[in-house]
């Protein structure tokens, strides 16, 4: 971690630099919100962990993030690099407890889409379709 950030935040009572933690879920579970301001991202699988811990998410709308987070349904999305939109979203999450609860509930319900069983079934359907163009999906 660059020492510059530690120096800049030295007089802030609400900032701590903890370093690497093995038990990160313990920390995530204690958050009021999870901000994920990536400029580029493949999948952002940490978001699945955050969803499971029922912490509301605000994330940038890049890469695979919108595949996991659906704006206003399972979290809030904002344009990458738009610090004002991120700040507005965080303030909104703070001010609207019903929104936080709804986003967490719907995100938790969506987790089944990413379970190992569901993902394996999706890959099997894809493989069958690639190997046999005549393959017709009969059930999900």
Q: What is the pLDDT of residue 57?
A: 98
34-36 sheet: strands from edge to edge: 34-36, 57-60, 76-78
Residue 118, token pair as written in the block: 């569901």
Q: What is the pLDDT of residue 53?
A: 96
Is 0.95 surpassed by the pTM of this model?
A: no
Residue 47, token pair as written in the block: 């978001």
Q: Per-residue confidence of the chain (140 residues) as pLDDT tens digits?
A: 578 889 999 999 988 888 888 998 999 999 999 999 999 888 788 999 999 999 999 999 999 999 999 999 999 999 999 999 999 999 999 999 999 999 999 999 999 888 889 889 989 998 888 898 787 766 54
| C-alpha 91: how far from chain center | 18
> Rounded distance, CA 96 to CA 92, Å?
6
Q: What is the pLDDT of residue 138?
A: 63
DSSP secondary structure string, 22-81? TTHHHHHHT-S-EEE--SS-S--THHHHHHHTT--EEEES-TTHHHHPPBTTTBEEE-TT
> Rounded distance, CA 132 to CA 43, Å?
28
Q: What is the pLDDT of residue 103?
A: 98
Give the Cβ contact number of residue 87 at 10 Å.
13
Q: What is the pLDDT of residue 52?
A: 94
> Rounded distance, CA 21 to CA 136, Å?
47
């Amino acid at each position: 971690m660059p020492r510059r950030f530690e120096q800049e935040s030295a007089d802030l009572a609400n900032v701590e630099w903890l370093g690497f933690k093995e038990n990160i879920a313990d920390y995530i579970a204690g958050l009021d919100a999870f901000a994920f301001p990536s400029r580029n991202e493949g999948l952002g699988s940490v978001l699945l962990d955050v969803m499971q811990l029922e912490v509301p998410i605000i994330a940038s709308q890049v890469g695979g993030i919108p595949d996991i987070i659906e704006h206003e349904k399972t979290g809030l999305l904002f344009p990458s690099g738009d610090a004002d939109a991120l700040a507005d979203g965080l303030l909104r999450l703070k001010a609207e407890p019903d929104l936080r609860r709804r986003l967490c509930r719907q995100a938790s319900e969506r987790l089944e889409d990413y379970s190992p069983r569901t993902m394996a079934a999706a890959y099997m359907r894809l493989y069958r379709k690639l190997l046999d163009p005549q393959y017709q999906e009969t059930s999900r």
